[in-house]
Structure 1
Amino acid sequence: MARLRSSIALILILSGCTGQAPPSATPDPAVAQKVRSQMGKEACSGRVAGALTARHLTASDIAGVELAPYTPGYPTEYSLALRQVWVRQTNRPGTIIVRYDPRDCRIATVDEQSGAMLPPA
């Protein structure tokens, strides 16, 4: 029985490590202004800018920002609530996709797609 409890505890500890949120930072003022201006009145623009700042993007790296509803590949109660922001980079193909929950502005993921590259840390 003790072995079963320790196995369950190990599984819970390891599963907690894989679900960590993407890094966030205090947004660079120039990044925050650029994201806010292109996301309109979206309340979560500051958190999105913080996620981009944490990934070492500067305002000059951002060519455009588009807000779109998230269409999940596998519907779950949580994923249906997510929104996504498509960030086009200056002089790079592809898109950086930031997914977040509009209810509390929590960043879920920051991904590169179709050749986009986040600057190295």
Structure 2
Amino acid sequence: MAELRSSLALILVLSGCAGVPSATPDPALAEKVRSLMGGDICSDRVAGALAARHLTAAGISGIERTPVTPGYPTEYSLAQRQAWVRQPGQPGAVVVQYDQQSCRIALVYARDGATLPDA
């Protein structure tokens, strides 16, 4: 039983390191994200996460960056950021959560009425 728990724990740890799907963004998307994120060092990784979700440069009207709000006071990390990606003509935003130090993408999801494009 202990071996099973150890194996399960290892799988969970390794799956957490995998991050979310990424794709090579087209140059227009990469440049727009870089510009809207003010040259953030993680902008190319954010653009890759958006490309994997089939967003294009024309499908982005703005990006706001915010620190991640902690669930508990002990969870707060200054390295965690969210890029709130606005789409023209849509409410809400597509949120990309990432680590500002490693640029690892943790989550990508639609919020407040936003939708992700179909493949």
TM-score using structure 1 length:
0.83
Aligned pair partner of 1:57 in 44, 55, 58: 55
SS in 1 for 2:91: coil
Aligned partners of 2:59, 2:26: CA distance in 1, in Å? 13
Aligned pair partner of 2:113 in 100, 106, 115: 115
- How big is the shift at 1:92? 1.2
Unaligned runs of 5+ in 2: none
Partner of 1:34: 32
- How big is the shift at 1:73? 2.3
- How big is the shift at 1:41? 2.5
Task: Give yes or no for the alignment of 1:86 onto 2:84.
Answer: yes
SS in 2 for 1:34: helix
Q: Percent identity?
A: 56
Matching residue's letter, 1:83: R
Partner of 1:15: 12
Larger Rg: 1
Structure 1 stretches of 4+ moved >2 Å: 9-20, 72-81
- How big is the shift at 1:11? 2.3
Q: Structure 2 matches for 1:63-102, cutoff 5 A?
A: 63-76=61-74, 79-102=77-100
- How big is the shift at 1:112? 0.9
Aligned partners of 1:42, 1:93: CA distance in 2, in Å? 25
Partner of 1:105: 103
When the two chains are superposed, the root-mean-square deviation of aligned CA atoms in Å is 2.1
Aligned partners of 2:112, 2:77: CA distance in 1, in Å? 22
- How big is the shift at 1:63? 1.2
Given that 1:71 and 1:80 are in contact with CA atoms closer than 8 Å, whether structure 2 keeps it comes out as no
Taking structure 1 as reference, are residues 110 and 40 closer, same or farther at Cα in structure 2, changes over 3 Å only?
same
Unaligned runs of 5+ in 1: none
Number of residue pairs aligned between Structure 1 and Structure 2: 118
Aligned partners of 2:22, 2:73: CA distance in 1, in Å? 26
Given that 2:67 and 2:78 are in contact with CA atoms closer than 8 Å, whether structure 1 keeps it comes out as no
